[in-house]
Structure 1
């Protein structure tokens, strides 16, 4: 319940009964009008351009209605908008409210192997609540393991297209990970691979990678995961200057084959407007060259080395074996992955992988949550 509010002409200030406070600028309120003249009643999209609004939007009058909503008349166009208490509370612009709306992440180290985020594919396809539970755990940790999926070729596409939308690249809709002669990528050899994010030479970088196990007879080839966000947080705590350099100075990544030549420029660590870590791009094999002022070259490489050392600390590593029917789903700009070496002369190891855009899994979780809430409301 709103305890009181005031208007300065260019904003309104609200204090709720629980002492939570917020300030809403006039232009922001005007742009968020939900009336039928401003928004399409079916899809909610704006029916005007920003240039259609007056340059000097002001609040001519603000009145609290009997149901607690705030009715605002804007000058100079004399447009009237009404905002409910609940809508204003949900869109509070104060720092603590904005932080609470951000995704809640759980940083992890190797000990998460005792309680990994795991889903059962048979349950996920039968029960939306089970699928949502997996996606929630995946989003909190940046990865998840799906068990008991079919061991048929292209199952990874079925999983990817259910959870999101498979992205076609120069590797195709999906790719086989096995040892082959004359490989274009070290992934197609039996050697061990250090932890990395895939395809940082792409713009945008794939948001999610799926790896589905078909065969795992060969000794070795265990999956290795590291929480890149946790490592970046440790770097910031231990060496703030190094962290700052890796968030500000981008480096070139490159991939070249007979049919593709891909180059992208990325910072190794990405932060948002509040300084929160939102992505990492780390791939020693695809790193090209640092195109930066000469005076930052040595400090940048020292920062790069420091971050690599943090990523390689044994306590941060999660190591597990993918069995046939297992599919690991990884947020590609957080859960860095690698593998131990394997011996193809003593058995077979065959994985199939695909890429899915990150927003696809976020969309799927929102749709499942919305449908489950509507079903619960209808049953009440």
Structure 2
């Protein structure tokens, strides 16, 4: 429910209007910020800002200001012959003073191997997602907050994953094509296309922006072996941050080098990035780890020993049973996860004992978060 906040008092200083609210909170609104965010600044159809803040001087300020009879903050500007009208609720909702004074709360629910005893909590039925927005919201919340979900009882026909993924948005195409076929093939161009064990890893770490989410749709899994593993990289990073700060700082501050080793490609893809990257709020943003595709490191010689020891420690924790979970995918399961948070792997399997066939899809993280916000806003607006 929308709250109605009332402006009690306004004071002008050299750069800001200082607002006292009816609930005792205080706001500072910079003059350039106010002019830039005048309601008339945006095109009514495209909603893009059409006003060019670069065309006003740095000295722009309110010549007159007051709450008018309609309850809006009315400002007559010192230049441009313009008057702006601001809704008080909009000002309060977008108040950067109050927002920056709030304690940041992470959206991520970190987990360790205790999740092994409650795998049902990350499972969701295919039909629930397909038949209702509530089911889709639940799936998206698992993906965003927990970083992992297993969709149960999906169809097992080739390419049938598109239908449920299109409930979210469009998939991300790569040179592996969509879907990519996770099967044992002769002369593979990626270790995923073998029967070998795969250490816990991020897919495509040598991209500037690796895919945000991955969906592995199990069509057949009758071979001996080939069990899946997953680890919450954010949880492991958090452990290091709290207990082994020097290692954590090394993983955050020193860039590693990753390279695409695919012999079929006519492009050389290489990228430098830290193993752990953080957001502006110092929350976890990416975990970039792949033993298979880390290139020969070329960091400063005085750092090399420290970097390798930190990488060694981090990698072993990412495979430690106190953090990782293990499970077996069955036909109709879709293992869906945040590729830039969760690391995934599998045990070796015997291709002569049966068939194992997964189809893989990628989607950018923006699509997951953006769709979730839209659906939740739609639900809230209808209440």
With normalisation by structure 2, the TM-score equals 0.90
- 71, 86, 110: which is aligned to 2:113? 110
- When residues 179 and 32 of structure 1 are mapped into structure 2, their CA distance, relative to the original with a 3 A threshold, is same
- 235, 259, 271: which is aligned to 2:265? 259
Separation in structure 2 between the aligned mates of residue 95 and residue 340 of structure 1, nearest angstrom: 50
- 173, 178, 203: which is aligned to 2:183? 178
Separation in structure 1 between the aligned mates of residue 20 and residue 12 of structure 2, nearest angstrom: 12
* Partner in structure 2 of residue 10 of structure 1: 15
- When residues 102 and 11 of structure 1 are mapped into structure 2, their CA distance, relative to the original with a 3 A threshold, is farther
- 73, 79, 82: which is aligned to 1:79? 82
* Partner in structure 2 of residue 220 of structure 1: 225
- When residues 90 and 102 of structure 1 are mapped into structure 2, their CA distance, relative to the original with a 3 A threshold, is farther
Q: What are the residue-to-residue correspondences of 1:152-171 with 2, within 5 Å? A: 152-171=157-176
Deviation at 1:62, TM superposition (A): 3.2
Deviation at 1:101, TM superposition (A): 7.7
- 332, 349, 356: which is aligned to 1:349? 356
Separation in structure 2 between the aligned mates of residue 270 and residue 52 of structure 1, nearest angstrom: 37
Separation in structure 2 between the aligned mates of residue 159 and residue 301 of structure 1, nearest angstrom: 42
Deviation at 1:65, TM superposition (A): 3.6
* Partner in structure 2 of residue 308 of structure 1: 315
CA contact (8 A) 1:10 1:59 kept: no
Structure 1 runs not aligned, ≥5 long: none
Deviation at 1:137, TM superposition (A): 2.1
Deviation at 1:223, TM superposition (A): 1.6
- 12, 30, 43: which is aligned to 1:40? 43
Deviation at 1:102, TM superposition (A): 6.6
Q: What are the residue-to-residue correspondences of 1:66-145 with 2, within 5 Å? A: 66=69, 68-94=71-97, 104-113=107-116, 114=118, 115-145=120-150
Deviations 1:63-94 (A, max 9, x none): 23456542233333343223223222222324
- When residues 365 and 302 of structure 1 are mapped into structure 2, their CA distance, relative to the original with a 3 A threshold, is same
CA contact (8 A) 1:103 1:140 kept: no
- When residues 16 and 287 of structure 1 are mapped into structure 2, their CA distance, relative to the original with a 3 A threshold, is same
Which secondary structure does the structure 1 equivalent of 2:236 belong to? helix
Q: What are the residue-to-residue correspondences of 1:20-59 with 2, within 5 Å? A: 20-35=25-40, 38-59=41-62
Corresponding residue pairs, total: 374
Separation in structure 1 between the aligned mates of residue 104 and residue 42 of structure 2, nearest angstrom: 24
CA contact (8 A) 1:176 1:350 kept: yes
Which secondary structure does the structure 1 equivalent of 2:312 belong to? helix
- When residues 69 and 248 of structure 1 are mapped into structure 2, their CA distance, relative to the original with a 3 A threshold, is farther
CA contact (8 A) 1:129 1:372 kept: no
- When residues 223 and 65 of structure 1 are mapped into structure 2, their CA distance, relative to the original with a 3 A threshold, is farther
Separation in structure 2 between the aligned mates of residue 27 and residue 305 of structure 1, nearest angstrom: 49
* Partner in structure 2 of residue 243 of structure 1: 248
Structure 2 runs not aligned, ≥5 long: none
Separation in structure 1 between the aligned mates of residue 19 and residue 122 of structure 2, nearest angstrom: 41
Q: What are the residue-to-residue correspondences of 1:200-215 with 2, within 5 Å? A: 200-215=205-220
Alpha carbon RMSD of aligned pairs, Å?
2.2
Moved more, 131-140 or 106-115: 106-115
Alignment of 1:330 with 2:337, yes or no, is yes
Separation in structure 2 between the aligned mates of residue 342 and residue 263 of structure 1, nearest angstrom: 30
- When residues 233 and 19 of structure 1 are mapped into structure 2, their CA distance, relative to the original with a 3 A threshold, is farther
Separation in structure 1 between the aligned mates of residue 90 and residue 104 of structure 2, nearest angstrom: 14
Separation in structure 2 between the aligned mates of residue 26 and residue 63 of structure 1, nearest angstrom: 15
Which secondary structure does the structure 2 equivalent of 1:291 belong to? coil
Deviations 1:354-380 (A, max 9, x none): 111111112222332243345x35xxx
Moved more, 229-238 or 261-270: 261-270
